[in-house]
Each structure stands twice: as C-alpha cells, then as structure tokens.
Amino acid sequence: MFSAKTSEKPAPREAPRPHGKSMPSIISNQLVVHGNLTADGDIQVDGTVEGDIKTNELTIGEGGTVKGAITAETIMVAGTVHGQVRAKTVSLARTARVQGDIWHESLAIEAGARFEGSCKHLSSATAAEGEVASWAKARRAATGSASTIEESAAPVQAS
C-alpha cells in the first residue's frame, strides 16, 4: 500500500461531452489559414481563414474572419464573412459583418448585424436550380444539341 512508487501515470481521460458532441477544431485568433477546410465535426474560427469551409457546425467568433464560401448544417457568425454562406440554420450576431449571399432554411439576424448581399431560402433555391437543370436536360434530349448549362452542375440538396 505505501511501498515503492511506480512511474506509471493513469491514462488521461477525455472529458464527457454533452449529447455525444466532440470538441470543435479551433482556428485561434493569431492563426491565418490559406486553403480550404473540410471537417465532419465542428469548427470554431477566431482567426482568419482564406478559403472555403465545409463542416457540420461552424462558429465564427467576433475576431474571426472567413474569406471564401461556407457550407454547413449550422452557422453562427459573430465575426466577418466575405463569401457565399449556405446552411440549414444561419445566425448573425449583432457583431456580425457578412458580405455575400446567404442560402438558408432558417435565418436569424440580431439588431446591429451588417449584411450586404441577398438571402434565399434553400428549398426554393434548390427547386429553381432543379427546374433549370431539368429544362436543359429535356431540351438537349428534344433537340439533340448541346446546352450552355452543364449537367455536372447538379442542384445542391439540403440534408
């Protein structure tokens, strides 16, 4: 019981997460990332990202800046965004500065937030893109000619 000490340390345990969530990947306030980010989990940006971001949940802190397109399930902006935003749920805090279009299912904007661009509901935007693609495909089939609309530009489906 009080005999020789062992040098073995117990393995560190990960703190329990509410609802099975993992820790977000954090871009700290002194970090600048040049390039695209893709994550299955959550990302928190307190620094600068110059590139596109695709993730499940994105939080942009008051000092955070993103210059690029953002695609996520949920986006909370308290910092600055220059680029297109596409998510089911988008929230702009009073300190948010967004320059670009927002595609959403749910949009909340606090008083004081600055937003320059257009906003479009995802279901109507997806339906319109699908109509254009269907029309172009039908026209090609009927006329046998090439279209100026590429088939590879398939509509984005909301998850």
Could you tell me which residues come within 8 angstroms of residue 11 by beta carbon, excluding any fewer than 6 positions away? none
Domain map (residue ranges) of the chain: 22-117, 123-154
Q: What is the pLDDT of residues 105-158, one digit of tens each?
A: 999 999 999 999 999 998 765 544 554 455 445 545 554 544 333 333 334 444
Rg (CA), the chain: 22
Measured CA to CA, the distance from residue 93 to residue 101 in angstroms comes to 17
Q: What is the pLDDT of residues 35-46, one digit of tens each?
A: 999 998 899 999
Q: What is the dihedral of CA 151, 155, 157, 158, to 10 degrees?
A: 160
